[in-house]
Structure 1
Amino acid sequence: MSAPATPLGRLFLVPAPLDFGCDSNTALEEVMPMGTLKVAAELSHWICENAKSTRAYLKRVDVLVPLLTPIQSQQITELPRQVHKKGDHLGDFDAKPLLAAALQGHDVGLVSEAGMPAVADPGSSVVRAAHTLGLRVVPLIGPVSLLLALAASGLNGQNFAFVGYLPQDSAERCKRIRELETLAIRTRQTQLFIETPYRNTALLQALLQTLQAQTRLAISSGLTLATAKSRSATVSQWKKNTEGPGNSTPAVFAIGP
């Protein structure tokens, strides 16, 4: 009689606070559900965007819910660098080898530097691989900057699209902005996008130069933190007060009629 097969582990999608592991005046328990922290404390195998920030996050968790496995004994594997640069949503990266521990019966956590992994962050290849391998995928509750920004925008939350990053080239960026504005006006679909923090101001200026005066522009930054900002106004109103998120904080931009 053959021995029973080892039960498969699960893949937990573990959100992280939106402060990118930085010191914050906002306590972890104020932005992360205790249930999520308890699950994180029980895990000892991780796939992550950045090992350093993952360890910092686990140290914060340990203060509230003692880790079952010391941080120095945690098995933490970073996604390859090319996944960060190219993104892993195109399906050309095989993440199945990263889930070897789950095939051996260990639960595995997937975590990004901030927010929900695989949403505007690397990790979709790991989730896809887990489904292929027959693993149970369990998304946990926590902050998702895109949805928080959308809710705070006053724009259409019934029909929206996240379009990632806009082109860096000035002419291509303006062309893309016009395309998105035309789509938003024609379909009343809110268009969400992000930018590398140090280009926030340049993007804001391009938006104000390109969008129509009556188009509504919403920008949110530092959400869930003491420094959180959300502003939603028409382009004509923005031009009277162009104070934006600055170039040091990640921000979510949204446009719509």
Structure 2
Amino acid sequence: MIDLHYWPTPNGHKITLFLEEAGLDYRIVPVNIGTGEQFAPDFLKIAPNNRMPAIVDHAPADGGEPISVFESGAILIYLGNKTGRFVGANQRERIAITEWLMWQMGGLGPMLGQNHHFNRYAPEKIEYAINRYVNETNRLYGVLDRRLAGREFIAGDYSIADMACYPWIVPHEAQGQRLEDFPNLKRWFEAIRERPATIRAYEKGKAVNDSSRPMSEEAKKVLFGQTAATGR
């Protein structure tokens, strides 16, 4: 059994995509990031960066004590190695998958996250910041679109690289992007959207929290007012 400490954000969706694809036995432990549950002492023991997702695997491959893993990219690598699935069939595929997973973790996620912040949540509209991150989002979409030219998926067969990137493309309209401008990306996106495991993963997310509801001002204070002293 795997405990998934989770909230339905792009990073959270990455892990449910894997777990649903692999058919692993797991339990969702909601971490309401809008009310500060990510600062609970028990959660910080497994996720010291006070961010979800995190997992606790109660049946690790070595048969030892439960293993906890934080950071969504690290979790995907761990689950891929545990199951031998979605991490590539050979060394070259594994290298490519790792490259694109790191690209998502270091670029696509952080830049699109800033896009979301300044477009949707910032208390004032700062034109420079909005343009900066909408343009960078557009550039990154272009990088992924070119990568997908002549390829069904990012690196060989469907992999953790695809699972990492897909949730960040879901809110493309809110990011100021048109998928029609990126035909390879659009084809890839629609194919993943229709996968049964994707449908199940997003249904589970809706059951935890309806993200269509506007974020409260109190939740914004919790999410965007954190400092080194938060959670002490």
Q: TM above 0.5, one fold?
A: no
Higher-helix-fraction structure: 2
How high is the TM-score relative to the length of structure 2? 0.38
Q: Which structure has the bigger radius of gyration?
A: 1
Higher-strand-fraction structure: 1
